[in-house]
Amino acid sequence: MALTSALRTTASGLTAQRLRMDIISNNLANANTTRTAQGGAYKRQTPVFEPILRSQTLFSLAGFGRAQPTEADASGGVRATAVTDDQRQGKMSYEPGHPDANAAGYVEYPNVNVVSEMADMISATRGYEANVTAMQALKSMALKALELGRA
């Protein structure tokens, strides 16, 4: 059971990092988008994650008299709960001839910082690689256990 739990945790980490990369790519692709279907400049998006509690998959906490999960319960990986828009205002630039300029001649550009997004992309890539390494280690341990069982 520990092996399948570890695989499930690692797989959820891979999924989380892939989602982060998708959102970062979307942010970078829209770094200069001044008009969206919703109106206004593109707003930077960020994923929101929460731990998957071991107790959520095995039993209900309420049935055991605990209303709040403990840190020991958080061993089942992570899952995305939402993708939120960053509501900070983007950079305002004076461009009176721009089609998206307001009455004062200012254009709002997205609140996407390309340098910050690239740093986040490196972080997500390294997180993904760490989860791949963990999965390979689990696979290697399972194969060694099978070899021991044959001997």
Give the DSSP per-residue string, 68-124: S--GGG--S-EEEEEEEE--S---EEE-TTSTT--TTSEEEPP---HHHHHHHHHHH
Residue 46, helix vs strand vs coil: strand
pTM comes to 0.80
| pLDDT tens per residue across all 151 residues of the chain | 578 888 889 999 999 999 999 999 999 999 999 999 988 899 999 999 999 876 554 444 445 555 555 555 556 789 999 999 999 999 999 999 999 999 999 999 999 999 999 999 999 999 999 999 999 999 999 999 888 878 6
Within a domain: residue 15? yes
Decide: 14 and 80 in contact? Cβ < 8 Å. Answer: no
Short-list 104, 105, 87, CA closest to 96 = 105
Provide the number of structural domains found in the chain.
1
- Domain of 121, in residue numbers: 2-31+45-85+112-150
Within a domain: residue 92? no
